[in-house]
């Protein structure tokens, strides 16, 4: 594999400023998926940044993106 090639997500799901990114991986027993969560915000200069830190009011959005990510992965897996 070319080390300069960036791996692209299999899918992403967004609810306002919270995003679940779904990554397809290949293992000995076939494909499997991992999910990363992030929240977008703007720094003092107005530049967009990402963080993996969440506040109380982000938790409902996290629930929504995680539920939708689970459904998407199960659909891909045929479950």
pLDDT in tens, 34-66: 999 999 999 999 999 999 999 999 999 999 999
| Residue 5, pLDDT above cutoff 70 | no
In this predicted structure, what is the pLDDT of residue 59?
97
Flag whether 20 is in a domain.
yes
Number of domains in the chain: 1
In this predicted structure, what is the pLDDT of residue 77?
80
Flag whether 7 is in a domain.
no
Q: What percent of the chain has pLDDT over 90?
A: 87
DSSP 3-state of 41: strand
Mean of all residue pLDDT scores within the chain:
93
Flag whether 6 is in a domain.
no
Dihedral sign, Cα of residue 28, residue 31, residue 36, residue 42 = positive
In this predicted structure, what is the pLDDT of residue 1?
47
> 18 lies in which domain range?
13-77
Tokens of 28: 């000995």
Flag whether 1 is in a domain.
no
* 38 within 8 A of 22, measured Cβ to Cβ: no
């Amino acid at each position: 594999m070319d080390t300069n090639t960036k791996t692209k997500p299999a899918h992403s799901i967004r609810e306002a400023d919270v995003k679940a990114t779904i990554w397809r991986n290949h293992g000995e027993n076939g494909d499997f998926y991992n999910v990363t969560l992030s929240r977008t915000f703007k720094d003092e200069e107005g530049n967009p940044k990402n963080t993996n830190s969440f506040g109380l009011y982000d938790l409902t959005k996290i629930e929504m993106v995680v539920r939708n990510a689970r459904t998407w992965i199960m659909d891909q897996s045929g479950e």
